[in-house]
Amino acid sequence: MQIGPNFKRLAIHKTSIEAIPSGGGIADGVKFLTTPGRLAQSMRDSLKWAQDAVLAIRQAAEPNSWKNSTDEEIAGELLRKIQERKKCKPAP
């Protein structure tokens, strides 16, 4: 399977949330990065999560305008929606 840049960014976004969860800090990130195998396992899990998310959108009930879209197009739209939501969130 060829992984495009949007799909990679989606998986990396998921991994970053796992590394430093909401309300977390630098200590969470350091622990995440220094735990042997943690980054690799998280990336594998995040790639699977991204694949499942894209598949769920593609298989959604009709009318489904994303049914014939590529993984890359769907991942790009998911990233766009994530950015939209970030802009709407109030600062902590």
Give the range of the structural domain holding residue 74, as residue numbers without chain letter. Answer: 5-88
Rounded mean pLDDT of 72-89?
Answer: 90
- Decide if 11 contacts 47 (C-beta within 8 A): yes
**Neighbouring residues of 75: CB distance < 8 A, sequence distance ≥ 6:** 4, 6, 7, 9, 10, 50, 54
Percent of the chain at pLDDT > 90 equals 78
pLDDT surpassing 80 at residue 1: no
How do residues 27-55 score in pLDDT, each as one tens digit? 999 999 999 999 999 999 999 999 999 99
Per-residue pLDDT band at 86 (split at 50, 70, 90) = confident
What is the Cα–Cα distance from 10 to 55, expressed in whole angstroms? 14
What six digits make up the tokens of 19? Answer: 């590394």
- Decide if 80 contacts 6 (C-beta within 8 A): no
Looking at the structure of the chain, the number of domains it has is 1
